[in-house]
Amino acid sequence: MNKPVVINADAVAVPSVTSASPAANAAGPAYVVLGSISFSHFLNDTMQSLIPSVYPILKDNYALDFAQIGLITLVFQVTASLLQPVVGIVTDRKPMPFSLAIGMGFTFIGLLLISVAHQYAVILLAAALIGLGSAVFHPESARIARLASGGRYGFAQSVFQVGGNFGSAMGPVLAALIVVPFGQPSLAWFSSIAFLAIVILWRIGRWYQPRIVPRKAVARERDPHAPSPARTATALAILIVLVFSKYFYMASIGSYYTFYLIHKFGVSTQSAQLYLFLFLGAVAAGTFFGGPIGDRIGRRYVIWVSILGALPFTLLLPHAGLTMSAVLSVIIGFIMASAMPAIIVYAQELMPHRFGMISGLFFGFAFGAGGIGAAVFGEVADRMGIDFVYSICAYLPALGLLAVFLPNLRRVSRA
């Protein structure tokens, strides 16, 4: 298990919870809290994943082109991306235990709005509201997962994130079973899921509230074995590039995989949704294993293998048949997804006094990179064809070579 490395801290007094206390670590993870926050993540991302899952319906109903589809994803994900670091910075200084339930209220409103939207501008507004709910949810819930970790930070981050991945995987299935047969108005039914999430998050807030204690943050000397500020900044920049490569590629699957399968193999919309479910299920499984493996062998190695290791399979995908495409998508999803828990915890250990900001920055950048990727690939697909998109994005995992420049925090911890 990696020990957090203290680099520096601002000399201000703020109410905060930065990590679990030694007593809490000795007691082990708070499994009920971890399970509840993971289930809330499942509900949150189930609702969010309905947006790309209904793209074929919106495209047919309103004669949208691929660029307009990409813009919906861009509005949703950039809203979440730009606001998540801001939320993280604010909650680092003033934790807000009930903000999670309030944020879920924006998702509730967004779902109701998109179910009755008949204009493209209203669809964009609904996507922005759901993105706002995501911006509020992720930074503070990641902090709660760490607080409940009992010192098993990678494990806790994996449990938290796997709930979201399973939620993302459920979106295409629910779209195939409910939204496709019953149409756009059926999205309103999922507002009941948002209400359930509000109730659970309110109770989690009650658990979290008494654990917020005043912390007098005094200036601390930098650990002599820790990476220098310049090396820390370089490492964070590398991690951001790796997240960029991962989510740019994931955007090509999440937003356009169904169109690719329909175009290349002539499958039905419902069958394409089920193939997408296989990919997203593999993503959920990879996320679960990435954190605990990082606790054991070191997060840097997990980051390296999980990005670069997908390269051979992404290069094969554009040339595979239908069955092999399904197999390759499962392998790619599993390998690439194992990176995110390791990246989040590794970044938190680089800057242990800024858990909220780091979580918001990386979750937010992941959303933003996915949104930009969806918009870029939409334009490329309109001009060059959907097959060309999968040919060029196959090379993105090669950026995983940059992981060789990350400092070894396990070595610093032992020192």
pLDDT in tens, 219-257: 444 455 567 778 888 888 888 888 888 877 887 777 788
pLDDT exceeds cutoff 50 at 269: yes
Mean pLDDT for 89-114 is 85
Mean pLDDT for 116-132 is 88
Look up the pTM and report it: 0.65
**CB-CB neighbours of 150 under 10 Å:** 18
pLDDT in tens, 8-34: 333 333 444 444 544 455 455 788 888
Q: What is the pLDDT of residue 238?
A: 87
Mean pLDDT for 244-271 is 82
Closest CA to 76 of 371, 323, 283, 286: 371
What proportion of the chain, given as a percentage, has pLDDT over 90? 7
Which residue has better confidence, 44 or 307? 44
Q: What is the pLDDT of residue 87?
A: 80
Is the CA virtual torsion 250, 80, 40, 28 positive or negative? positive
Query: What are the structural domain ranges in the chain?
Result: 13-414
Mean pLDDT for 118-128 is 88
Q: What is the pLDDT of residue 374?
A: 72
User: Which DSSP string do the residues of 105-145 spell out, in sequence order?
Assistant: HHHHHHHHHHHH--SHHHHHHHHHHHHHHHHHHHHHHHHHH
> Are 12 and 217 contacting, i.e. CB atoms less than 8 angstroms apart?
yes
* Average pLDDT, rounded, for the chain: 78
Which residue has better confidence, 406 or 10? 406
Q: What is the pLDDT of residue 28?
A: 58
Residue with tokens 């082109």: 65
Q: What is the pLDDT of residue 226?
A: 64
CA distances in angstroms from 366 to 136, 217, 247, 316, 324, listed in the order given:
15, 30, 6, 25, 28
Mean pLDDT for 339-351 is 82
pLDDT exceeds cutoff 80 at 2: no
Q: How confident is the model at residue 373 (pLDDT cuts 50, 70, 90)?
A: confident
pLDDT exceeds cutoff 90 at 268: no
* Domain boundaries 13-414, CATH class: mainly alpha
**Helix ranges (DSSP H) in 298-404:** 299-308, 311-316, 322-337, 339-350, 355-384, 386-392
Element (H, E) at 216: strand 213-216
pLDDT exceeds cutoff 90 at 328: yes
Question: Which residues lie below 8 Å from residue 111, measured CB to CB, with a gap of 6+?
Answer: 47, 50, 126, 130, 187, 188, 190, 191, 194
Three-state secondary structure call for residue 264: helix
Q: What is the pLDDT of residue 313?
A: 93
Q: What is the pLDDT of residue 218?
A: 39
Mean pLDDT for 288-313 is 81
Q: What is the pLDDT of residue 331?
A: 92
Q: What is the pLDDT of residue 368?
A: 66
Q: What is the pLDDT of residue 316?
A: 93
> Are 115 and 187 contacting, i.e. CB atoms less than 8 angstroms apart?
yes
Mean pLDDT for 39-66 is 82
Q: What is the pLDDT of residue 12?
A: 35
Mean pLDDT for 185-212 is 87
Which residue has better confidence, 361 or 276? 276
Q: How many Å separate Cα 381 from the centre of its chain?
A: 24
